[in-house]
A and B are shown apart, each in its own frame.
Chain A
Amino acid sequence: MVALVDCNSFYASCEAVFRPDLKGKPIVVLSNNDGCVIAANKEAKAMTHIPMYEPIFKIKNQLLTNGVNFFSSNYTLYGEMSQRVINILKTFSPKVEVYSIDESFLDLSTVPRDELEAHGHKIKDTILQYTGLPVGVGIARTKVLAKVANRMAKKLPDLQHVCVVDSEQSEEELLKWCTIDDVWGIGKQHAKRLKSINVHDAHDFTRLPLAWVRKEMTVVGERLWRELNGEKAIEMVMEPKKKKGIGTAKSFGKKLTDLGLIEEACAFYITEVAEVLRAQGTCASQLTIFLTTNYHSDYDKQYANRITLKLEVPTNSTFILIKEANKALRKIFKLGYRYKKVGVDVTGIVPENEVQGNLFRPNLNSLSVLSKTVDKLNAKFGKAKVRSSTLGKRMKQWELIKEERSPRYTTQWNELLTVGKCKPKA
C-alpha cells in the first residue's frame, strides 16, 4: 500500500504555527514581489466573494476591509518546515518520495492491513504535534489511488483527514466519488472530451477499454488507467532527479533603466543557479539570458529579448558564468526602456566529472575549488555574503519587495519567535 501525505494550505499553515493570534482567521500568502495570492487557508478560501487569485493590486482593498491577513512568501521558513515533515515521515516508512514541498508518498507495504488506519492517524497526529502543521493522509494500493483517497480525506469531514481504501468495494466507492476533472493528471481538454463520451467520474474511466485510452491519451493516460485499476504503473522515485535545466527569473522591485543594476540582479541569479549546479555535481553547457519590460503597462514602450550562448567548456563556476552572462546581457540590452525582469536559464546539463576540456580551453574546473570554498562560507555566514564584485551592493534598488515577510523563525538567530510583551531597554 502507498500513502500520500500532504500539508493543508501549507504556506498559510506555516505562518499560523508562529501566530496563534491568527487562529481561525483568514490568511493568504503572496507570490514573489507580492504579485498575487499563491496560498490561502480555509478561512480565506471560504471568502468566495473575493477573487483570490487576481493580481494583488486589484484586490488589496477588499482583503484589507475583510480583515484578511497577508504575508509575503517566506520560502526559507517553508523549506525548513517542509524538511521537518519529511524527517518525521521517514520514521514511518523506509521509502519516502518527496513529491513537492508539501506532498510525499510513503511505501507502506510493510504495514499490516488492519493497522493501516491507525498508522495513518499516527502519522497525522505526530506531524501536527511536532510541527504544528495539519496534514491529510490518503492510503490505497497505488499512487494515483492514494492521491484520490487523500482528496477524499480532505473533503469528507467524517474521515478526520485520514482515508484508507483497502477493499474492492471501497475502491469502487472512491472512484465513483471522484469526478473526472479531479483525477490527477487529466487535463481540462481530456476531461471535456471524456465527458462528451459519458465518462463523468474516475470509475467510468477505469471501465474504458485500455486500447482506447492508450490511443487517445498516450502512455500517460494508460498509466493513470492502470493505477486507478489498482495496478502499480508509477514507481516511487526516491532520489530526486537531477535537473535538466535550472532557471530563475524574478521581477525587480521597481522598473530599471540602468544596465549596471540589471547586471547586478543578473549576477545574483547566476550565483543562485551556479550553486544548484555545484550542489548536484553538474555543469551547464548553455546559458540563456532574457530581459523584458512590463507588458502589463499601457504607457511604457515594450521590449523583450533573449539570447542563448554555448559555453566553450561546460562549467559551474559562478565567475565564468557571470562573465558570459554580462557579455550576453550587453548584446540584448537597449537604452531607453524601463525593464521589469531579467532571467537566467542554464541547459545542457552534464555531470561535472564528464566535462572535457579541449586543447585551447582546458577544463577550468580547478576554479571550482574557489567556488566550493565560497559555497562553504556562504552556507555558514548567509546567502551571498561572499560574492563576485559584479553583484555590488545596490541590492535594495532591484530586490523584490518583501514588505510583509514573516521572520525566518527557524533559521536566523536574530529573527526568533518572541514571547512577552514589554520591550525594556537592555
Chain B
Amino acid sequence: MEIIKHGKIEKVDHRHAPEVSKQTGFPSPATHYLEPTINLHQELVLNSDATFFIRVKGRQFLNLHVDHNDVLIVDRSLPVKRNTLILAIIDGEFELIRLQDEPRDSSISIWGTVTYIIHRT
C-alpha cells in the first residue's frame, strides 16, 4: 500500500514546462495520411444482422464455381434478383442455384443471396 506523506507539499514538476510536442526525431511523413488497414469483414459483410456464413460440402456445385469446403457469405436482406447465386430450399434441403427467372415454382423457397464465395487455393 502506498504511504501518504503528511505535512509535505508535493512539488509540482516542471512548473514552466513548455506546451510543445515532446516528440523527438523526424515526424513521420505519413502523419496526416494515416488510414485504418483494410478490414475484410467490413468490406464483405454489409448487413451483419442478416448475414450468415455457410460451408459447402462436396463438389456438386462446381458448375457454379463453388468447390468443396468453400465458405459462402449469404445475405438475407437483399432483394431476390435474377442471375444471382441463391441459397434455396428445395424439398426441405439446402441447394445452391443460379436464379434465371423469378421463381414461380412454389416448391422453391429462397433462404438468402450468396454475395461472396471464399475459396482456399
Q: A-side interface residues toward B, CB under 8 Å? A: 20-23, 84, 87-88, 129-132, 357, 359, 362, 409-410, 413, 416-424
A418 touches B57 (CB 8 A): yes
B55 touches A416 (CB 8 A): yes
Nearest Cβ on chain B to A73's Cβ, whole angstroms: 21
In the assembled complex, the Cα of A4 lies from the Cα of B93 at a distance in Å of 34
Q: A-B pairs with the 4 shortest C-beta distances?
A: A130-B50, A420-B58, A422-B58, A21-B92
Nearest Cβ on chain B to A273's Cβ, whole angstroms: 28
B49 touches A416 (CB 8 A): no
Nearest Cβ on chain A to B48's Cβ, whole angstroms: 8
In the assembled complex, the Cα of A416 lies from the Cα of B1 at a distance in Å of 51
**Chain A residues positioned under 8 Å from B82 (CB to CB):** none
In the assembled complex, the Cα of A359 lies from the Cα of B2 at a distance in Å of 11
B77 touches A417 (CB 8 A): no
**Chain A residues positioned under 8 Å from B55 (CB to CB):** 416-419
Name B71-121 residues within 8 Å CB distance of A: 71-72, 76-77, 87, 89, 92-96, 109, 111
- Given A20-B93, A23-B92, A424-B58, CB of A419 within 8 Å of CB of B1: no
**Chain A residues positioned under 8 Å from B58 (CB to CB):** 420-424
B52 touches A417 (CB 8 A): yes
A409 touches B94 (CB 8 A): no
In the assembled complex, the Cα of A131 lies from the Cα of B95 at a distance in Å of 19
Name B24-81 residues within 8 Å CB distance of A: 47-50, 52-61, 68, 71-72, 76-77
Nearest Cβ on chain B to A375's Cβ, whole angstroms: 22
Nearest Cβ on chain B to A284's Cβ, whole angstroms: 22
**Chain B residues positioned under 8 Å from A416 (CB to CB):** 53-55, 71
Chain B interface residue count: which class?
20 to 34
- Given A20-B92, A21-B92, CB of A420 within 8 Å of CB of B61: yes
B60 touches A420 (CB 8 A): yes
The contact of A130 among B59, B77, B89, B94, by CB within 8 Å, is: B77
Nearest Cβ on chain A to B4's Cβ, whole angstroms: 13
A410 touches B49 (CB 8 A): no
> Across the two chains, which residue of chain B brings its CB closest to A360?
B1
**Chain A residues positioned under 8 Å from B61 (CB to CB):** 420
B94 touches A129 (CB 8 A): no
A362 touches B60 (CB 8 A): no
The contact of B1 among A20, A87, A357, A420, by CB within 8 Å, is: A357
**Chain A residues positioned under 8 Å from B87 (CB to CB):** 419
**Chain B residues positioned under 8 Å from A87 (CB to CB):** 48-49
The contact of A420 among B53, B57, B109, by CB within 8 Å, is: B57
B94 touches A20 (CB 8 A): yes
> Across the two chains, which residue of chain A brings its CB closest to B91?
A21
**Chain A residues positioned under 8 Å from B71 (CB to CB):** 416
A422 touches B59 (CB 8 A): yes
**Chain B residues positioned under 8 Å from A23 (CB to CB):** 92
- Given A418-B54, A418-B56, A421-B58, CB of A88 within 8 Å of CB of B1: no
Nearest Cβ on chain A to B41's Cβ, whole angstroms: 13
B92 touches A419 (CB 8 A): no
**Chain B residues positioned under 8 Å from A130 (CB to CB):** 47, 49-50, 76-77
30 A–B contacts, CB within 8 A, in A order: A20-B89, A20-B92, A20-B109, A20-B111, A21-B92, A88-B49, A129-B50, A130-B47, A131-B49, A131-B50, A131-B76, A132-B111, A362-B1, A413-B53, A416-B55, A416-B71, A417-B52, A417-B55, A418-B56, A419-B54, A419-B57, A419-B72, A419-B87, A419-B96, A421-B58, A422-B57, A422-B58, A422-B60, A423-B57, A424-B68
Nearest Cβ on chain A to B73's Cβ, whole angstroms: 11
Nearest Cβ on chain B to A151's Cβ, whole angstroms: 27
**Chain B residues positioned under 8 Å from A413 (CB to CB):** 53
> Across the two chains, which residue of chain A brings its CB closest to B55?
A416
In the assembled complex, the Cα of A413 lies from the Cα of B71 at a distance in Å of 10
In the assembled complex, the Cα of A211 lies from the Cα of B57 at a distance in Å of 67
